[in-house]
Amino acid sequence: MTDLADLTLSEATSGLQGGEMTAVELLEAVHRRATMTEAQLHAYLNIDRPGAARAAVAADSALGKGAAVSKLTGIPVALKDNLVTRGLETTCSSKILAGYLPPYDATVVGRLREAGSVIVGKTNLDEFAMGSSTENSAYGTSRNPWNPERVPGGSSGGSAAAVAVGSALAALGSDTGGSIRQPASLCGIVGMKPTYGLVSRYGLIAFASSLDQIGPLTRTVTDSVTVLEALAGYDPADSTSHPGAVPDFRAGLERGVAGLRIGVVSELSGEGIDPQVQAAVARMVTSLEGEGAKVTEVSLPSFEYALSAYYLIAPAECSANLARFDGVRYGLRRDGDTVEEMMANTRAEGFGPEVTRRILLGTYALSAGYYDAFYGQAQRVRTLILNDFDSAYGQVDVLVSPTSPTTAFEVGARATDPLAMYMSDVCTIPSNLSGHPGISVPVGLDDAGLPIGFQVMAPALGEEVLFQVAAEVERIAGFSERPALANSRADI
């Protein structure tokens, strides 16, 4: 018999609405899976059993009454712990926020609750979402369910590990430079970053406000659509929220790729990409061509400078955003003889080394006399990248590349080398700088049995064609392998 924790979100929706199971049973299966795997994975910082149990009972009552329900009613969803949840501790994996109980729900959390989903708990991340492995968490590293010696990616590594192993059917993450797509790639699931502004950031604890976007991590492309449908749409509480129409995410799912123009990004192939990742991406491109897509290689020369520009813009914005953690308003406080000393003591103890490094870099890049040479220059590079994208999208409908240059690396392998860690996001960062959508779809395993992700990118509000191509990639790949840890059975 199938363990309910192994169902995809769509399968669970049909099961719940067809009366084959209850939301309480589904939640119990997910809890059993968490019990069997958490000691090894540490995907969660906090599992909210009482809150989830109440939501599951409410979902069952709505389902039983034949009331209007949504595809998410009764579905167990995990939240990255940089999304504020009313009355439920939210730490951003930082000591500085230990014990912080937010007085409100993020807009996306409210939308999930209204849709009837069951919030399982809060997942681990790199502190304030700064990192690519979850090793920067103040509360311990999450592990990759395919091989616990390896990282799950980051910063939404806990969310990705939970979905991959079945301790949630879907999860939310945030993506500033790749933090949804890269861990999805390393954990063998689907991770999607929407167009900037499509999903409200209200209640997402800000890292770099001009880059941050919230998006879904799921096992399938259709499930990604289902979650995004619940999240997307204008929110007056976020001044950067897109006021226009939301694209039709579902319209292209069955359409195939015949006649579509697909561009392979030259700057994201070859050098620096692991040969097995490169080969898997090339095979997928050939198959897409076989399905009728017109494939060309496209050069976006400014991509070469994307990583450098990102590592000025993101720290600059983070240094401003994190100024609010001053020991007065939230979480940790360490006293001193003066207010300045109290703030210095609090921040020195509360922030980990990577966050400290970013605040220092960002403050420097914004300081008088250097602003133009660093921050201003990076913003000009951002414009060049946008121009490159614009001219590429004059020739092709979507762009494709690997999601991550390598598969999951060993815990510790890049922990002491920030530059090596920063390279993890070389393929994903350009779409953050441009605000465009991107998705990672698993296409196979390397020789070590670790998942490989394929990235599809589209122009702003191009989610319809993005999901259209992603669905075809998923169909061709037929990736159905599950990590060994997902076979943990509670009844053994």
Q: Give the catalytic positions in this structure.
A: 80, 155, 179
Q: d(Cα 8, Cα 480) in Å, to the nearest integer?
A: 11
Q: Which is nearer to ligand GLN, 107 or 134 (CB)?
A: 134
Q: Which is nearer to ligand GLN, 178 or 352 (CB)?
A: 178
- What element of type H or E holds 384? helix 377-392
Binding site for ligand GLN (CB under 6 A): 129-132, 155, 175-179, 207, 314, 425
Q: d(Cα 70, Cα 44) in Å, to the nearest integer?
A: 26
Rounded least distance, CB 425 to ligand GLN, Å: 5
Rounded least distance, CB 359 to ligand GLN, Å: 13
Rounded least distance, CB 93 to ligand GLN, Å: 12
Q: Which is nearer to ligand GLN, 425 or 463 (CB)?
A: 425
Q: d(Cα 172, Cα 179) in Å, to the nearest integer?
A: 11
Burial class (CB in 10 A: 0-12, 13-18, 19+), 491: exposed
Q: Which is nearer to ligand GLN, 179 or 220 (CB)?
A: 179
Rounded least distance, CB 160 to ligand GLN, Å: 12
Q: Which is nearer to ligand GLN, 92 or 469 (CB)?
A: 92
Residue 195 neighbours by CB under 8 Å, 6+ apart? 213, 242, 435, 436, 437, 460, 461, 462, 463
Question: DSSP state, 83?
Answer: B
Q: Which is nearer to ligand GLN, 303 or 479 (CB)?
A: 303
For residue 155, say if its preceding peptide bond is cis, omega within 30 degrees of 0: yes
Rounded least distance, CB 130 to ligand GLN, Å: 5
Per DSSP bridges, beta strands 190-193 and 213-218 are antiparallel
| Contact indicator for 26, 16 with CB cutoff of 8 Å | yes
| Contact indicator for 430, 306 with CB cutoff of 8 Å | yes
Q: Which is nearer to ligand GLN, 151 or 473 (CB)?
A: 151
Q: d(Cα 457, Cα 475) in Å, to the nearest integer?
A: 18
| Contact indicator for 253, 467 with CB cutoff of 8 Å | yes
Rounded least distance, CB 74 to ligand GLN, Å: 30
Nearest to 80, CA basis, from 207, 239, 222: 207
Question: Which residue is it, tokens 């409100």?
Answer: 104
Q: d(Cα 272, Cα 278) in Å, to the nearest integer?
A: 10
Rounded least distance, CB 436 to ligand GLN, Å: 14
The residue type found at 176 is T
Q: d(Cα 123, Cα 194) in Å, to the nearest integer?
A: 20
